[in-house]
Structure 1
Amino acid sequence: MPILGKQAEGRTNAEKANILANHFKNTSSNDNCTKTFLENKKQKSPDIIAAISDPGSNTSDLNIPFTLTEYRRALKQKKSTSPGNTWGTNKKHLLKLYRVLIRSIIDYGSQVYDSASDNALHALERIQYKALRVALGATKNTPTVSLLAEAGEQPLQLRRNTLTLKYWARTQGHGTQFPPNKLITQAKHTTFKKTKQHKPPYNHKIHSLLSEHNLNNIKITQFHTNPTPPWKLVAPKTSTDILHSTDKKENPIAAKNIALSIIHDKYKNRIQIYTDGSKNQTTDRVGLGIYAPELGIELSIRVTDKCSVYTSELIAIGLALRIVDETKPPGGAVILTDSLSSLQSIESGHSTRITEIHSITNTLQSLHTQNIHTTIEYIPAHVDIPGNDMADSLAKKALDNQTILCNTTYSKEEVYSMIKKSVDKSWADTWLQVGR
């Protein structure tokens, strides 16, 4: 990005600040400039404006690192309370600039350089401390833990741990032969001697991080393509007629009546299968419910703990389709779900749970070849639709089951959520220890 470079030579601090402020105004989407600031911009000489807007072919001066001094001069910490002084910006925008301009650079490659010496890593911590002090307008003697808490920023070591674990979660989906995963496997059978100058590299450190955050037994869904070629797949039949008919928040009674009317008129001769998913946020237990009144089926199935409700909803739809495939109703079937995100994923074919999507589309394809008409219909939740309420009750009942009947792997997004929860707990524990 264009910054001062040689343009700083022979200029006052005020001129330097104006040059940088002009650049931020031209490259940022936020609108923080006051009328006074805009008037000051007009007083700058044309050659400075030209140097910023059109640096020409010689761009060597534009690659000089953005410094905290320039950051401070351009943004003036935060809005001054002095009479008649209206320029500057607030804490929210300063922190946003810190995250975009400084933290992003610190984050880059952190999984690799985390094995650097403590002295090298402390240099980065000083940069973070100074940047946050500028953003918050804090004094030099402000404790680091207080500064980080006020800014909502993790200590850099915790942030590096988070990014390292997320990288591990992303790469696990590529299988054991993916180069980083092969190194991790090899590191299990070797030891690394830690010294002050030599810390464990990524493939060794990841094992201790997984143990620390209880992620050792986590299995992540592998990337794979649908075995059925896309040109042989028939587009799944889905419907959101009820969603576009009325707003359940504004008129839940009307939403209920329209839903019951569509179910009765549109699917009068089809068997109806209601599905739902549920999760206890305290115990992390997950369950699903399936209710098919015409078939006399009521299922309460507990799913792998810590999965998302979205996952349980997709699994429930997949199981409902298998019921249709086994019973082969002559009039066809309709799967009724209150999970709009699941329906949209089935329509688009894109999802964080691509295994479940492939299973659903392949079953729908099989039903189509058997001439068993099957539609997945969206219905609003919690508007007293008897079948939906029954499926919801069955899903909640599944949370009390002592046995997990449906084991599944995790998507990387679900693992991200686990990582965030565990790292946030570590951060909170550190804060409590300091408080003591």
Structure 2
Amino acid sequence: MWKPNGRRRTKLLLDYATKMTAYPFNSAYDCVFHAQHKNLYEQYQRFISSFEVRTIPHFEAAEIPSTYILPNKPSNKPPWSLKIPSILYTTHNKSESTTHPLALQLLFAEIRHNYSNHQPIYTDGSENQEKVSAAMYAPPSVDTVRPPNNSSIFSAELYALLLALQRIQSHKSSKFIVFTDSLPSLHSLSSFKITHPLVLQLLEFYNVLLQKSETTVFCGNKKVDSIARTAWNSDMSSFKVPYSDFKPFSTKYKNCFWQLEWDTLVINYIEYSPL
């Protein structure tokens, strides 16, 4: 039977191994996943086993999809040279619960009028249990992608923005306005959260496109939600996601052992007497 500290220790080991998967160039990577002299620990069991010997069996049993983890790489450019996109929070200043739908529609129409010389692009992410999908709608073109199962909706929304930037790269226009209803995505861009690999990719891509276009990213649309849902049943793409999306696997693995211990207890129910 595992002790509570043993369960927590195993979870922390899995969390670290999951994070280390995203840093293949780290000097500790080979020590974690390609340790040498593993047979010696079987011959001399009085020695404390290495991290890999103790962790990898749990890592494999937890079925953490390491092949879908996006490597964390430093920026190709000095971070301070990256420019932050121009972001409008106009629609998010209005609460949908207290604002009449017509008022929101008028606000959206006003934004479209003010940016009438910009090509509109709409993005959204959608979630259905373990499946997530991302969609981009640049009239009349539609593009969808389904990230790996158990990815976060946040990653799907960021991938939808990447799809929009890819469309901008091949478009003839020079000015674009990207609509998204993902407030966390916009906050991550405005706060320069470059520790997140997808946010860093977006900022780098945006700066490359600055030579060609003026891109404005802001929230306030539901047009692409139905399109994103249609991608739930499509094949998974080769896109990878940050390691943090798969951290719940270690918690689930720990809880499975906890549940097993509970099920094997002699008394695992509460007796009560009716009044």
Common fold: TM-score over 0.5: yes
Q: Is the 8 A contact 1:170 1:412 kept in 2?
A: yes
Partner of 2:229: 396
Whether 2:94 is the aligned partner of 1:206: answer no
Q: In structure 2, what is the Cα distance between the partners aligned to 1:352 and 1:280?
A: 27
Counterpart AA for 1:306: N
Distance 2:138 2:131 in 1: 24
Q: Which residue of 1 aligns with 2:84?
A: 235
> Which residue does 2:69 correspond to in 1?
220
- Indicate yes or no: 2:20 matched with 1:167: no
Supply the distance in 2 between the matched residues of 1:255 and 1:163 (Cα, whole angstroms): 49
The number of residue pairs the alignment matches comes to 266
Is 1:316 paired with 2:165? no
SS of structure 2 residue aligned to 1:269: coil
Query: Helix, strand or coil for the counterpart of 1:428?
Result: helix
2:157 is equivalent to residue 157 of structure 1 = no
Gap change, CA 1:264 and 1:216, over 3 Å in 2: closer
Equivalence for 1:358: 200
Where in structure 2 are there 5+ consecutive unaligned residues?
Answer: 270-275
Query: Where is the helix percentage greater, Structure 1 or Structure 2?
Result: 1
Amino acid at match of 1:336: F
The answer to whether the 8 A contact 2:63-2:249 is kept is no
Name the TM-score, length of structure 2 as normaliser: 0.85
Letter in 1 for 2:250: I
Percent same amino acid at aligned positions?
A: 22
1:277: which partner in 2? Answer: 125
Separation (CA, whole Å) in 2 of partners of 1:240 and 1:287: 24
- Secondary structure at 2:38's aligned position in 1? coil
Cα gap change, 1:231 to 1:170, in 2 (>3 Å): closer
Q: Does 1:429 align with 2:255?
A: no
Partners of 2:215 and 2:105 lie apart in 1 by 23
Mapped to 2, the partners of 1:361 and 1:352 lie a distance apart of: 12
Rounded Cα–Cα distance in structure 1 between residues aligned with 2:264 and 2:48: 26
RCO comparison, higher one (Cα < 8 Å, 6+) = 2
User: Which TM-score applies when normalising by structure 1?
Assistant: 0.56
Aligned match of 1:300 in 138, 141, 144?
144
Structure 2 Cα separation of the partners of residues 193 and 216 of structure 1 = 28
User: Residue 161 of structure 2 aligns to which amino acid in structure 1?
Assistant: I
User: Does residue 251 in structure 1 map to residue 99 in structure 2?
Assistant: yes
Q: What is the aligned counterpart of 2:137 among 276, 282, 291?
A: 291
Between structure 1 and structure 2, the one with the greater Rg is 1
Q: Offset of 1:239 from its aligned partner?
A: 1.1
Confirm whether residue 326 of structure 1 aligns to residue 170 of structure 2.
Answer: yes
Quick check: 1:276–1:395 contact (8 Å CA) kept in 2? yes
The 1:177/1:289 distance shift into structure 2, 3 A limit, reads: closer
Query: Within 5 Å, which residues of 2 pair with 1:409-428?
Result: 410-428=241-259
How many angstroms does 1:399 deviate by?
0.8
**Structure-1 separation of matches of 2:55 and 2:103:** 50
- Whose strand proportion is higher, 1 or 2? 2
The CA RMSD measured in Å over matched residues stands at 2.7
- C-alpha distance in 2, partners of 1:200/1:189? 10
Asked if 2 retains the 8 angstrom alpha-carbon contact of 1:158 and 1:423, the reply is yes
Paired position in structure 2 for 1:183: 31
Letter in 2 for 1:292: A
Measure how far apart 1:221 and its partner are. Answer: 3.1
